[in-house]
Amino acid sequence: MEKKLVLDIERQIGELDLKIADELKKLNQFKENTLSESHQSDLHYRWIKTIEKYIALLEMQKTLLYLQIEKLETEA
C-alpha cells in the first residue's frame, strides 16, 4: 500500500514538474514580449510577479510531496 502511495506521489511530482516548466515557458515568453516594447506597464509587472508567485507555490507543493514520501518511507 505504501509503495502505491509513493508511486502516486511521484506521479504528482512529475505533473508539477510539467506545470512548472510550462509556466516558466509562459513567463519567459511574456517577459520577452514586454521587454521588447519600449514601455512596460504596471500591469505587465504585476502579471510577471503573479506568474512567479504561482511557480513558487508549485515548487512548495513539490516540497510537501517529497516530505510525504520521506514520512512514508520512515514509517515503513
Name the residue range of residue 33's domain: 2-75
Could you report the per-residue pLDDT of 26-64, keeping only the tens digit for each? Answer: 999 888 877 666 556 778 888 889 999 999 999 999 999
CA dist 27 and 30 (Å) reads: 5
- Domains contained in the chain, number: 1
**Cα–Cα distances in angstroms (integers) from residue 50 to residues 8, 12, 75, in the given order:** 29, 23, 38
Backbone angles phi, psi at 40, to 5 degrees: -110, 115
Those residues whose C-beta lies under 8 Å from the C-beta of residue 19, and which sit 6 or more positions away, are: 58
Reported confidence tier of residue 20, pLDDT bands at 50, 70, 90: very high
Specify the pLDDT at position 34: 72
55: amino acid identity, one letter = I
**Cα–Cα distances in angstroms (integers) from residue 73 to residues 9, 42, 63, in the given order:** 12, 47, 15
